[in-house]
Amino acid sequence: MHSWTSPSLTPLPASGLPLRLHDTRTGRAVPVVPLTPGRARLYVCGITPYDSTHLGHAATYHATDLMRRALRDTGLEVEIAQNITDVDDPLLERAERDGVDWRELADSQVALFSEDMTALRVIAPETYLSVSESMDGIIETVRTLHARGRAYAVEAPDAAGPDWYLDLAQDGALGEVSGWDEAQMLEVFAERGGDPDRPGKRGPFDPLLWRAEREGEPAWDAGELGRGRPGWHVECVRIADEGLGLPFDIQAGGSDLVFPHHDLSAAHSVALGRPFAALYAHAGMVALDGEKMSKSLGNLVFVHRLVRDGVDPMSIRLVLMAHHYRSDWEYSVEELTRSDERLTAYRAAAARGGSHPHTVDALRAALRNDLDTPTALAALDAWAAGETPTTADGAAALPDDAPGDVAAAVDALFGLSLQQA
């Protein structure tokens, strides 16, 4: 899949100081030490392209973009792989409902997503693969799991052959990422795409590996497993393997993916006899009118509508920066107004120019401390107000050649352009 156009990049000279990132699995912020020296590899779960980018999506890909920029600032090369879940129940149902071909619906929504990512100045992933274009590889992974004795058949009365599930009990690997107990898992499993009560399953959380062909659904040939389409988790495992190789450094996504998706992705990898991600980083949920923004509730604020209504995409980026990426927060129009004011003030300060090495240093320190954008904004507010930052940790110790161009730094570190639109 063609990815979008990345903004031009002018990185700062690398700081060499490590990024500390919160790991969902351990519950602690840890320095990111890549498995391959010098090269950090990150996988972020992409969209199901049936409805365009809302602020919840934007928050996730903004967080991933900050991870990339922070890792790059430490001196690492960064590779990101991202999937597009274009073979999935909600997309197929929406296409059926609207009487359009599922591929056309997916293509149109992927194009809209690309426009939004370009507007927000999110750097494009190095590997960007849809499920449909990765199908040969996904089938190979499903068949490997079957050959390793990890798959079992469940009768499907409405299909010519059985559906296939992953037998989690064989490896005993579930809850590795979330740390949840069974009761917590049961509470959300069904509403997040699971089928705990399906007759014939060996365990309630066993995930669907391969769904036998149903009438009117797209299907591919998986040899001894029959014609059908893959389950959700195995798709990401395969695309991560193709794009990055297993294991890799960071699995990122929204916090609603911790369970079941990331727990079960890791479980698939264990069943393949290979470790998955070294660290799991999750972005918080965005709410509107007191409820989490979600397609099922319909309370969505779309990036492209804001842009169409004349909102500067950099103001949207500032709204996202105003909240720590891990926090859940609620969007309001006042947030946007505040961000517009900030953008105007920052642009005026950038136009005044000058060298502000302590501000740049504060921005970098905030970013590498678990992507602390609220603290970075406080430093920018002070800079825009003409205040000299007072930093506790040795403000006077900066070398003479420390970078001092704040506009260049916020561009490189936060993807925020302060050029007049």
Q: Which of 39, 50, 47, 51 is nearest to 244 (CA)?
A: 39
For residues 46 and 357, which CB has a smaller minimum distance to Zn ion in the complex? 46
For residues 251 and 417, which CB has a smaller minimum distance to Zn ion in the complex? 251
Interface region with Zn ion, contact rule CB under 5 A, candidates 22-30, 119-127, 233-241, 386-394: 233-241
CB of 134 to Zn ion, least distance (A): 12
Beta strands in 12-166 (DSSP E): 20-23, 28-31, 39-44, 77-84, 127-130, 151-154, 163-166
- DSSP symbol at 397: G
The only residue of 12, 32, 45, 78 in contact with Zn ion, by rule CB under 5 A:
45
Query: How far apart are the C-alpha atoms of 339 and 222, rounded to whole Å?
Result: 51
Interface region with Zn ion, contact rule CB under 5 A, candidates 14-22, 41-49, 198-206, 330-338: 41-49
CB of 379 to Zn ion, least distance (A): 34
Cβ neighbors of 15 (< 8 A, separation 6 or more) are: 73, 74, 75, 364, 368
For residues 236 and 258, which CB has a smaller minimum distance to Zn ion in the complex? 236
For residues 269 and 373, which CB has a smaller minimum distance to Zn ion in the complex? 269
Contact of 380 with 363, CB cutoff 8 Å: yes
Q: Which of 313, 293, 236, 247 is nearest to 65 (CA)?
A: 313
Query: How far apart are the C-alpha atoms of 119 and 4, rounded to whole Å?
Result: 10
CB of 233 to Zn ion, least distance (A): 7
CB of 45 to Zn ion, least distance (A): 3
81 belongs to the binding site for Zn ion (CB under 5 A):
no
CB of 271 to Zn ion, least distance (A): 16
For residues 117 and 252, which CB has a smaller minimum distance to Zn ion in the complex? 252
For residues 132 and 373, which CB has a smaller minimum distance to Zn ion in the complex? 132
Interface region with Zn ion, contact rule CB under 5 A, candidates 37-45, 96-104, 110-118, 312-320: 37-45
Radius of gyration of the chain, Cα coordinates, nearest whole angstrom: 22
For residues 188 and 378, which CB has a smaller minimum distance to Zn ion in the complex? 188
For residues 146 and 261, which CB has a smaller minimum distance to Zn ion in the complex? 261
Largest CA distance in the chain: 74
Alpha-helix runs per DSSP H in 126-244 = 135-147, 182-189, 232-243
CB of 117 to Zn ion, least distance (A): 17
CB of 48 to Zn ion, least distance (A): 10
236 belongs to the binding site for Zn ion (CB under 5 A):
yes
Contact of 321 with 376, CB cutoff 8 Å: yes
> For the window 189-228, what string marks contact with Zn ion as x by the rule CB under 5 A?
----------------------------------------
Dihedral over Cα of 327, 332, 334, 335: its sign? positive
The per-residue DSSP string of 338-366 comes to HHHHHHHHHHHHHHH----HHHHHHHHHH
47 belongs to the binding site for Zn ion (CB under 5 A):
no
Token pair of 31, please?
Answer: 């320095």
Interface region with Zn ion, contact rule CB under 5 A, candidates 157-165, 186-194, 229-237, 384-392: 229-237
Chain centroid to Cα 120, Å, comes to: 15
CB of 142 to Zn ion, least distance (A): 16
For residues 74 and 251, which CB has a smaller minimum distance to Zn ion in the complex? 251
Interface residues toward Zn ion, by CB under 5 A = 45, 236
